[in-house]
């Protein structure tokens, strides 16, 4: 197989070629950098590249193969790392002017695990500033474009990670998901995106947006690749107090189980007003496919889901207001020039260093936490969050896995929602509930709309049930045979 075609294939296929010595890890890595040189000026997936580090990692993989030593399933496979996850001695900017020149002094836990598994980190992927956005138009550096159509958004905030994988500029990627920031770009870019159970993956070394919602997870071309990457990054971490103590299972073990007797729940509240007919048709086809495999389809109700947008944006902005208070120009990051006094330095540094969307969310969160409004907004939102989780607890007594559209529509045109933040926020309607409830959720591509853009289906399972989730996704992927290689071969302007 030609190496340019091989880098568009799954991680599993690339590993097989490595083991058979049909290609070397260095050749694979260099081919990915050639692809980046050809296409990233149009796509904007990366903020910075780490070529020397990636090539050195690939050389270690080749040495192990030459010596007939075992390598891990993803050794030598090119990975894009979202630029809010620390990589020691390299920039970590969160796509913000305020961290434009920041060099990370330590590795995130997930980054150290990537290193331990000899996975070449190709570069730091672009994102919405501080992971705040659904379209990747909020980066301080450049807009990311969707490889399926360069006039469309790739989704956010992990748009750079998704665009890199979809375009062939990486084979796998890590993103972070606070309200759908892995699943939404995966949906828009025709990929698999998985948000694990809260605490399944350490957040140590992830620049915090909303600490009770954030979770790192994989963006890949296939379900099996996602399971393999989850195997690498999951597990307890003493450096993260919210990390779960349970030893994770092998997430690839139960992928191929049949679905006879498995109960698939269908959320009626997410399949009504505002849903694109093409998305609805694709979801119905997925339901029919599950029925043909012996799964039982049950309708479930999540009556409080209508409050989820309001609940999410109160809690997320409140936590962002607190987390981003540290960026004040004192210890690190951008500092305004020639301030008149300390207060002037604080005000001007934050005014000049943060983008409009970040400022908007800080102001909303500060208001929700302020004296006289805390009980009315933040406390009430936390109470509703608990009730939403109880709705899910009831639903999972009826169903093993819950399905819904990932988004009511496919990728929209760049610039079409920038002036309407409320419309932009509504794109998260189906995804934010999983973060509020702390449950695992993932996107799987299930077809194309009339303009040739990918349609995503969301699957959700109860806490710590990623294996059920991955099994249901794998069997649907196997049945639908979605062609994820298209954009990496032909970029559409």
181 is catalytic: yes
Q: Which fold has domain 3-257+416-489?
A: Amidase signature (AS) enzymes (3.90.1300)
Report residue 488's pLDDT band, with 50, 70 and 90 as the boundaries. confident
In 3D space, the residue among 51, 67, 57, 53 whose CA is nearest the CA of residue 25 turns out to be: 57
Report residue 491's pLDDT band, with 50, 70 and 90 as the boundaries. low
Write down the pLDDT at residue 272.
58
CB atoms within 10 A of CB 250: 12
Region for residue 322 given its phi and psi (left: phi exceeds 0; alpha: psi -120 to 50; beta: otherwise): alpha
What's the pTM?
0.97
pLDDT in tens, 326-345: 999 998 899 999 999 999 99
51 is catalytic: no
| DSSP 3-state of 190 | coil
Catalytic residue among 135, 181, 234, 243: 181
Q: Do the beta carbons of residue 407 and residue 184 sit within 8 Å?
A: yes
Write down the pLDDT at residue 422.
77
pLDDT in tens, 400-416: 999 999 999 999 999 99
Q: Do the beta carbons of residue 192 and residue 158 sit within 8 Å?
A: no
pLDDT at 425 over 70: yes
Write down the pLDDT at residue 492.
47
Catalytic residue among 12, 35, 82, 468: 82
Write down the pLDDT at residue 268.
79
The rounded mean pLDDT for the chain is 95
Catalytic residue among 139, 157, 187, 234: 157
What is the rounded average pLDDT of the residues 112-134? 98
* Tokens, residue 214: 């954030």
| DSSP 3-state of 409 | coil
Write down the pLDDT at residue 419.
82
Give helix 380-395 / helix 308-323 axis angle, nearest 10°: 130
Report residue 269's pLDDT band, with 50, 70 and 90 as the boundaries. confident
Write down the pLDDT at residue 493.
43
Domain boundary assignment for the chain: 3-257+416-489
pLDDT at 424 over 90: no
């Amino acid at each position: 197989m030609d190496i340019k075609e091989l880098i568009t294939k799954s991680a599993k296929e690339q590993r097989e070629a490595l083991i058979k010595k049909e290609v070397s890890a260095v050749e694979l890595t260099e081919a990915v950098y050639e692809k980046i040189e050809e296409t990233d000026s149009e796509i904007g997936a990366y903020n910075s590249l780490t070529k020397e580090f990636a090539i050195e990692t690939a050389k270690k993989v080749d040495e192990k193969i030459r010596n007939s030593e075992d390598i891990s399933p993803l050794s030598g496979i090119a990975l894009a790392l979202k630029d809010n996850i620390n990589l020691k001695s390299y920039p970590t900017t969160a796509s913000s002017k305020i961290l434009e020149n920041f060099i990370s002094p330590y590795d995130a836990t997930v980054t150290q695990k990537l290193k331990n598994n000899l996975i070449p980190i190709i570069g730091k992927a672009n994102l919405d500033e501080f992971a705040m956005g659904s379209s990747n138009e909020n980066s301080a550096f450049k807009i990311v474009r969707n490889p399926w159509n360069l006039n469309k958004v790739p989704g956010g905030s992990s748009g750079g990670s998704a665009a890199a994988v979809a375009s062939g500029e990486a084979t796998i990627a890590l993103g972070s998901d606070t309200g759908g920031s892995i699943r939404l770009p995966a949906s828009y870019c025709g990929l698999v995106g998985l948000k694990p159970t809260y605490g399944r993956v350490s957040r140590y070394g992830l620049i915090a947006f909303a600490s009770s919602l954030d979770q790192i997870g994989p963006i890949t071309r296939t379900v099996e690749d996602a399971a393999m990457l989850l195997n690498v990054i999951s597990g307890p971490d003493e450096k993260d107090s919210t990390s779960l103590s349970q030893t994770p299972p092998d997430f690839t073990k139960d992928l191929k189980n049949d679905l006879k007797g498995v109960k698939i729940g269908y959320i009626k509240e997410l399949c009504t007003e505002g849903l694109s007919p093409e998305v609805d048709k694709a979801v119905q086809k997925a339901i029919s496919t599950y029925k043909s495999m012996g799964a039982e389809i049950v309708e479930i109700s999540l009556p409080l889901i209508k409050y989820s947008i309001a609940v999410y944006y109160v809690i997320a902005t409140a936590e962002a207001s607190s987390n981003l208070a540290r960026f004040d120009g004192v210890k690190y990051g951008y500092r305004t020039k020639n301030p008149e006094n300390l207060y002037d330095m604080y005000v001007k540094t934050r005014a000049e260093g943060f983008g409009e969307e970040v400022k908007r969310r800080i102001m909303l969160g500060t208001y929700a936490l302020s004296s006289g409004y805390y009980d009315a907004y933040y406390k009430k939102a936390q109470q509703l969050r608990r009730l939403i989780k109880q709705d899910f607890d009831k639903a999972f007594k009826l169903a093993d896995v819950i399905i819904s559209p990932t988004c009511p529509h496919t990728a929209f045109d760049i610039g079409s929602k920038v002036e309407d933040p409320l419309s932009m926020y509504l794109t998260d309607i189906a995804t934010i509930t999983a973060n509020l409830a702390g449950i695992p959720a993932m996107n799987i591509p299930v077809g194309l709309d009339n303009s040739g853009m990918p349609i995503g289906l969301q699957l959700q399972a109860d806490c710590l049930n990623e294996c059920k989730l991955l099994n249901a996704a794998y069997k649907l992927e196997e049945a639908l045979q979605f062609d994820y290689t298209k954009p990496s071969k032909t970029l559409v302007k």
